[in-house]
Structure 1
C-alpha cells in the first residue's frame, strides 16, 4: 500500500511560514497534481514528502508508516526533477541502474532491471548511448527510468516537462499518463501549468501562498470552484470576471447590477443572505458567452485567436472590462468589429469581495 497522509504539516524558513498547517490524503494508485503559481509552495511540499526538506510541524505517513523523520533513502519514494541530472560520462543503461549500483545490487540484476525499465519507456535501442546523443524527451525518459528501477511505493515529479518544447511536452504528458496506467503506482506531480494538471490528474490540489485552496477532480474544480482564485486559475482561457453590486436579494438568489452590463441585471442562485449594495464579482467561462441580437450587451472585438475549429474572441465591454468568448466553426472573422453579447446566466458564478463563492 502506498497511500500518503499529511497531518498538520507546516514549513517555515527563518521564522516565516511558507506552508500553513496542511491536511491531505492521497490514496494508493492515485495520480495527484499539485498546481499553483510560482512561489505557492508546491515544490516545497513535494520536497518535504521526499525527505529533502524537514517539516516544521506535523506528520507524514506513507503506507501506514510514519516517515516524517526518515531520510529519503528510507522512505520508499523516487523523485524525477526538472533538470535531467544525468551523468554525461555514463551510458543510458548505466544512468538508469546507477541507484541500484549504489545500493549494492549485483551487476546482472542491475542490467536486468535497467533493461526492463528501458523496455517500458521505449529506450531499449539507446541503452549504449551517452546522454549527449539523446533528445530532450529521451533524456527525461532516462530520468524516469532511473526512478522506475527502484520500484518505489511513491513517484514524485517536480515540473519534469518545463525544459521541453511544446510538442515534446504533449508527447511526454501522454507517456507519463500511459506509464501510470501500466504501473498503477501512486504518483504526485508538481506543475504551474494548469493544462498539465487537467489532462494528467485523478485529483488536483490547488495551492496559493502555502495554503490548499481546493482539492478535487479536474472536472470538479472546473465546474464547481470554491473561490475566485480557483475559478480563474483552472481553465484556459481563464474565467471572465465582471465587477458588480447586489441590487436585490430574493430567497433563492441575488440580482446583480454592473457597469459592464449597462441597464441589464443578472440573477444568480445563492443561499447567502447579503444586503443590497454589497460588492460582488460575477464569473462566466468563455464557452458560456455567445453572440446576441440587438438586445444584448455591446462589445468590441479586439482580437481573435484561431485554433482550428475553435477560436477565442477577446472583446472589450463599454466600461473597459475584458471578455473572452469561445466560438466553434471555421467562419470566425479576425477583424475588430462591434458585436452584441449575451451570457448564459445559469452558468454564472458570484464571488464575494474576498473571493469566496456565494
Structure 2
C-alpha cells in the first residue's frame, strides 16, 4: 500500500476550470472519502488520480513515485465504478480473474488469488454463477473482488453503492469497512452521501466547485466546521441556521425568536448590523437548555426511536428539531425548546465564514 499526495492539482476543459489547485495528503492505509454535491469535482479528481483524466497542472505522487503523466496501468491503482461493468457471459470466477489472465499470470496463481478474494467477500459459493444470477450487492462485491486480486497500492471507489437500495447500501458499507480493516489498504471513496462519508472515512475531504473546503476526521468536521457550507453539508438532518444580529450593546440576538440573547464567546469583531447566522444541529435542541425558544410545529415525523419536528417550513430559515419522546407533539403544537450556546456556531451570512 502507499500514500497519495496531490500538489496544486488543477483541471481545465478548454477555458473552463474544474479543479482549482487542490493540495491534499492521504496517508498509507487511510480511508479517505471525497464528498460534496453533484458537480463539485470529486469524480473528476478521482479519475485524475486513476489516470483516466489528464492533469492540467500540478503533480500526483503515489508513495515516492510521480505518477502525474503515467498511464493508468502503470499507476498500481484499481478502480471500482458505480456500474459493475461485469462480463455477462462469464462466471463470477472468470470475472474476478479476467484482468490477471490478460496480464499473463499463471493459472494456478489466478485461481489462488480469486479464491482468496472470494473468501474475503463471501463469494465462494457463488463463483460458478453468472452476473444475472446475482443481486446488486453481490455484483458489486464481484467488482470489488476484481480490484482486490490486482493487489493495487491504492483502491479507488467511484460512488459504488449508488445503484443499491437502502438496505443493501447499509450492508455494503459494513462490507467495505470490514474489507478496509482486513486489508489495511489505502482507499479513496467518492460519494455525494455524507452518511456514507461519516460512517466509512478516516478522513473526509469536503469539495465544492473544485476546491477543498475542509479535510479532517469525520468528528472533527462535525464538531468544528470551517464554514457555513461544511456545517450545512456534514450532519443528517442538516444543521439549522437561525438569523442573528449583533446589537449596539454587543449582544447577539435572534430577531425571529423574540430577540432572545445568545451568549456566544467569540473573539472576532462581529459588527453591529452585520448579517449573521447561528448554526444549531437538530440533535442539540432540548427542553431545559439555556437559550429558550417557543416555536409552532408544522409537521412531525415519527421514526420510532426519534422524532423530528419541522418549524417554519416555508420560511428562509426553517428549523428541524430532534426529539426522543414526541408522542403528544403534532401539527400546531407550541413547543418550548432551547439550545446550549456552547454547542452553537456563528457564521457571516454573506461570506459563509465562521466567526469565532
Output the TM-score relative to the length of structure 1: 0.95
SS of equivalent residue, structure 2 residue 354: coil
Structure 1 segment 1-358 matched on structure 2, within 5 A: 1-248=1-248, 255-291=251-287, 296-316=292-312, 321-329=317-325, 331=327, 333-352=329-348, 353-358=350-355
Count of aligned residue pairs for this structure pair: 353
Shift of 1:178: 0.2
Shift of 1:269: 1.9
Matches of 2:147 and 2:326, distance apart in 1: 45
Shift of 1:273: 1.5
Shift of 1:318: 11
Structure 1 contact 35–42 (Cα < 8 Å) conserved: yes
Matches of 1:193 and 1:297, distance apart in 2: 31
CA-to-partner distance for each residue in 1:163-217, whole Å, 9 max, x for gaps? Answer: 0000000000000000000000000000000000000000000000000000010
Q: Pairwise CA RMSD of aligned residues?
A: 1.8
Matches of 2:247 and 2:296, distance apart in 1: 27
SS of equivalent residue, structure 1 residue 267: coil
Shift of 1:275: 2.2
Shift of 1:316: 2.5
Output the TM-score relative to the length of structure 2: 0.95
For structure 2, list consecutive stretches of 5 or more residues without a partner in the other structure.
none
Structure 1 contact 260–319 (Cα < 8 Å) conserved: no
CA-to-partner distance for each residue in 1:255-286, whole Å, 9 max, x for gaps? Answer: 22232121312122222113211111111111
Moved more, 329-338 or 131-140: 329-338
Matches of 1:278 and 1:329, distance apart in 2: 38
1:320–1:88 Cα change, 3 Å: closer
SS of equivalent residue, structure 2 residue 262: strand
SS of equivalent residue, structure 1 residue 271: coil
CA-to-partner distance for each residue in 1:40-76, whole Å, 9 max, x for gaps? Answer: 0000000000000000000000011100000010001
SS of equivalent residue, structure 2 residue 297: strand
SS of equivalent residue, structure 1 residue 78: strand
Matches of 1:117 and 1:334, distance apart in 2: 52
SS of equivalent residue, structure 1 residue 48: helix
SS of equivalent residue, structure 2 residue 116: helix
Shift of 1:320: 6.6
Matches of 1:41 and 1:318, distance apart in 2: 31
Matches of 1:316 and 1:338, distance apart in 2: 12
Shift of 1:340: 2.4
Shift of 1:332: 5.2
Matches of 2:50 and 2:332, distance apart in 1: 52
Matches of 1:112 and 1:270, distance apart in 2: 61
Shift of 1:102: 1.1
Shift of 1:331: 3.5
CA-to-partner distance for each residue in 1:296-332, whole Å, 9 max, x for gaps? Answer: 4321111122222111111229977411111114745
